[in-house]
Amino acid sequence: MKQLAKHIVATAMLGSALVSGSVMAEQKIGVVDVQSVFQAMPQAAEISNNIQMEFKDQIDEVNQLQKDGQFFAERLQRDAATMSEQEKKELQQKIQGVREQLAEKGQPLQQNIQRRSNEERNKLLGLIKQAIDNVAKKDGYDLILSAGAVSYATEQHDVSEQVLEQVKKTN
């Protein structure tokens, strides 16, 4: 009796494996490397330049503060032996003032640049998502996976080039 039950279970498992295998074979699956598509987009290079131009004045101001602070620190280190205590104290106060200004201006600037970069990156990722959807519909894919989530895929399953072409067409 136990042997018969084992055979029935084994047959049922084998049958379900064969059915699920044939169902999987009917699905058209693709893989896309979103990161490489993003990097190959002409808009990705423009984003960095546009953000640098948008915050140029603030970046220049922070860079000048850094140069001033470095100049004062080097001067203090170089000339400390010949300076009076009053001159050392004044120079240390200048250095402290520059540090405070850097903290006041540098961190918010960095946060604003990061925020803008994320906004622009998300716009491009939205374009990539639309392109993936268009390629999937046009070529009849049932499933398109991110290359980062797949251990192995053959070249015939890679649709990254088609997605990149689709993204280039939309802009």
Q: CA–CA distance from 127 to each of 40, 42, 72, 81, 123 (Å)?
A: 13, 13, 48, 62, 6
Report the alpha-carbon distance of residue 66 to residue 106 in Å, rounded. 10
Phi and psi at residue 143, to the nearest 5°: -155, 130
Domains of the chain: 1-13+21-170 (3.30.910.20)
Q: Contact, 152 vs 164, CB < 8 A? A: no
Q: Rounded to two decimals, what is the model's pTM?
A: 0.65
Q: What is the pLDDT of residues 32-57, one digit of tens each?
A: 999 999 988 888 878 888 998 999 99
Length of the chain measured in residues: 171
CB atoms within 10 A of CB 40: 16
Angle subtended by helix axes 56-79 and 85-139, to nearest 10? 150
Angle between helices 56-79 and 42-54 (to 10 degrees): 60
Taking each helix axis from N to C end, the angle separating 85-139 and 160-170, rounded to the nearest 10 degrees, works out to 100
Q: Give the residue from 143, 139, 130 showing the smallest Cα distance to 170.
A: 130
Question: Which of 27, 10, 14, 34 lies closest to 167 in space, CA to CA?
Answer: 34
113 burial level (CB within 10 Å; 0-12, 13-18, 19+): middle
Which pLDDT score, from 0 to 100, does residue 171 have? 66
Tens-of-pLDDT digits for all 171 residues of the chain? 445 344 343 344 444 444 454 455 578 889 999 999 998 888 887 888 899 899 999 999 999 999 999 999 998 888 888 888 998 899 999 999 999 999 999 999 999 999 999 999 999 999 999 999 999 999 999 999 988 888 888 888 889 899 989 888 876
Query: Cβ-count burial of 107 within 10 angstroms (0-12 exposed, 13-18 middle, 19+ buried)?
Result: exposed
